[in-house]
Amino acid sequence: MTAAPLLEAIGIRKRYGHVEALRGADFCVDRGEVVALIGDNGAGKSTLVKVLAGVTQPDGGEILFDGEPVGLDDPTTVRAMGIETVYQDLALAPDLDPSANLFLGREALRPGLLGRLGFLDKAAMSQRTRQAFAELGAGVQSYSAPVGYLSGGQRQSIAVGRAAAWASRLVFMDEPTAALGVVQSKKVLELVRRVRDTGIGVVFISHNMPHVFEVADRIEVMRLGRRAARFRPDETSMEEVVAAMTGAFVQEEAS
Amino acid sequence: MSAPSQSAPQTDAPPPDIPEPGAGHPLLRLLTETTALIFVVLLVLVAVFSALRPQAFATVATATNIAIASATLLVIAVGMTFVIITAGIDLSVGSVLVFSSVVAVKAMEQVGGAQGWASVAAGVVAALLAGLLWGLINGFLIAKAKIPPLIVTLGTLGAALGFAQLITGGIDLRGVPRELVVSVGLGGLFGVPWLVIVALTVTAVAVVALRLTRFGRYTLAIGSNPEAARRVGINVDRHLLKVYAIAGTLSGLAGVMSLARFTTTTIAGHTTDNLQAIAAVVIGGTSLFGGIGTILGTVVGVFIPVILQYGFVIMRVDPFWQTVAVGIVLIAAVYVDQLKRAARERL
Ligand SMILES: Nc1ncnc2c1ncn2[C@@H]1O[C@H](COP(=O)(O)OP(=O)(O)OP(=O)(O)O)[C@@H](O)[C@H]1O
Ligand SMILES: [Mg+2]
């Protein structure tokens, strides 16, 4: 295995009109590691995730995957690399059922001629959906209802389950526990650890400090579009981390 | 990676804590079955008219007339269903129909002097290509240039009709081969008119495409949440282009059907086709907001206005009531759609 980290982003810049969402952001995550990416509202966390997921094109910066420079210029390429994302807005199709959402963009087709004509293998997909969500411990209440009818927490479980089911190298989770109750949050945290234990890198974004300290192997703090500090949870305190988020504590100067 | 179950981390995960209780509240369920609901409305209408005037309404002749009268609209409405499911709209269908039929007559005059089957074939191909071309123009402007569908197709509505009038000088062309009129327009197979067979074939293919194929799944997904579709790597622009191309091509086909039925172009006769098609699609339970819709619903939606029209004529009700009744049904259909949306207005 190479010594280079799994994914490294260097000096990423992204501007939306007058807003500079990312001003030279650095970020790093390794195999089998949970990195908590935290920062105040508007710090640029979601923007960074979208850049690394290939759905937003950065204005500048470099991205290394397995030490190799890569261009993450469309979501299909990124997904083919084994990178999955739980977006903050979930990015589910509310009118489709859980199975259609789990397989969206990578539908299983019927074998033979029918498959070549684009016929869906609905039975196989729905069976694998039940299996996947059962294994993930996601309490999906109905497999036949459009996901728009499910509760916010259940939809979040579906988005998390979808990412976890397909990821083979790296998962980004943008506030995956935001809408969840205590029990479901605990399950997601367990899931994060299980995914990590298979050697997959996990990037966990959350405003919930107890969750962050419970699950993270490392913490990276963003502030105003760039990395402000890096911590190990066992060598720091919530006070120090929060100070870094607010700018009261500065570890990394702008380069 | 081939399947989630293979790559999913396999550990001692607890089983799902909530057993599956079906699709929620019964009332919700009824509302989601708009197609079933509207189908019942259709059956009730047929039953009432048949009971009141069995000799006049419940006859093979009436059924055949209704089917022929609806065939062209059904073909257009099938294309419109795909468009509306993507949360789009196509106002240009009637004009594209007219343009295609004009181009078809011109092609049939060129090939074989509007006589013989070769001439018919040339006309059909020309009409389909003409429809496809307008569909591609619509699709390109909507998907690539990001101009709202309402505006794009309002523009092509005017442009296609204008070109048809420029080509003909505004006078209907009559050079339709006998073969097309006699065989397709008047003939049939085992008593079923060819026009109806064509419409039913288009409908059947569309049902399969929407429900069973990846094409249909992408259409629904894009209408439901285009950003989600884009993020999973679906080429949303290309798919929209295809959907409008299909709608245009079906309008071209409808142009040929119209020629076969009326033996002439009907330049001035299709100004409300777009609204009729949209009404049919919406009455059939397809959501104007996208993401929801069925072809079978559209079939029912095409027939309800026609049945009302025939029924009122036979009942000697002033036929102007039909327009009123269809308007009420249309508003009711959209209201039901709104209720459904409110029930899941959380995403
Ligand atoms: N598509 C966009 N268009 C314009 N501005 C944007 C867009 N996306 C993000 N921004 C801006 O970029 C900045 C960073 O936003 P981002 O969503 O990345 O923050 P965040 O750290 O994820 O915040 P939160 O914790 O609230 O989710 C904000 O000022 C936001 O307004
Ligand atoms: Mg965010």
Do B51 and B57 contact (CB within 8 A), yes or no?
Answer: no
Say whether B230 and A131 touch across the interface (CB within 8 A).
no
What totals of helices (H) and strands (E) does chain A contain, helices first? 9, 10
Do A4 and A60 contact (CB within 8 A), yes or no?
Answer: no
Report, as an integer, the average pLDDT of A45-73: 94
Its domain, for residue A125, covers: 7-254
Residue nearest to atom 31 of ligand 1 (CA): A42
Residue A90 lies in a domain: yes
The count of C-alpha atoms lying within 13 angstroms of the C-alpha of A64, restricted to the half-sphere facing its C-beta, is: 16
Three-state SS for B189? Answer: strand
Residue A225 lies in a domain: yes
Residue A165 lies in a domain: yes
Residue B13 lies in a domain: no
Say whether A104 and B228 touch across the interface (CB within 8 A).
yes
Residue A59 lies in a domain: yes
For A140-199, how does the pLDDT look when each residue is reduced to its tens digit (9 = 90+)? 777 888 999 888 888 888 999 999 999 999 999 999 998 888 888 898 899 899 999 999
Sign of CA dihedral B167, B173, B178, B182: positive
Report residue B26's pLDDT band, with 50, 70 and 90 as the boundaries. Answer: low
Residue B325 lies in a domain: yes
What's B13's DSSP letter? P
Residue B18 lies in a domain: no
Contacts of A148 in chain B (CB under 8 A): 344, 346-347
Do B234 and B226 contact (CB within 8 A), yes or no?
Answer: no
Three-state SS for B264? Answer: coil
Beta bridge partners, A68, equal A65
Mean confidence (pLDDT) of chain B: 87
Say whether A135 and B13 touch across the interface (CB within 8 A).
yes
Q: What token pair was written down for B43?
A: 């059956």
Number of structural domains in chain B? 1
Q: If you count them, how many residues does chain A have?
A: 255
Between B110 and B16, the more confident residue is B110
Its domain, for residue B274, covers: 32-340
Between A171 and B34, the more confident residue is A171
Residue A1 lies in a domain: no
Residues within a 6 A CB radius of ligand 1 = A 16, 19, 21, 39, 41-47, 88
Nearest alpha-carbon partner for B310 in B329, B325, B298, B299: B325
Residue A2 lies in a domain: no
| CATH code of the domain covering residue B264 | 1.10.3470
**Cα A238 to middle of ligand 1, angstroms:** 24
Distance (Å, whole) CA B130 – CA B135: 9
Nearest alpha-carbon partner for A195 in A212, A213, A214, A170: A170
Do A144 and A174 contact (CB within 8 A), yes or no?
Answer: no
Interface predicted TM-score (ipTM) over 0.95? no
pLDDT at residue number B243: 98
In this complex, which of B214, B215, B224 lies closest to A95 when CB atoms are compared? B224
* Residue for token pair 């339970």: B285
Report the residue of chain B nearest A102, measured CA to CA.
B4
Number of structural domains in chain A? 1
Residue A142 lies in a domain: yes
Three-state SS for B199? Answer: helix
Report, as an integer, the average pLDDT of B58-75: 90
User: What's the Cα-to-Cα distance from B136 to each of B151, B224, B317, rounded to whole Å?
Assistant: 15, 23, 43
Beta bridge partners, A174, equal A205
| CATH code of the domain covering residue A146 | 3.40.50.300
Contacts of A92 in chain B (CB under 8 A): 225, 228, 347
Say whether A106 and B232 touch across the interface (CB within 8 A).
yes
* Residue for token pair 């809408």: A179
Nearest alpha-carbon partner for B291 in B82, B135, B148, B91: B82
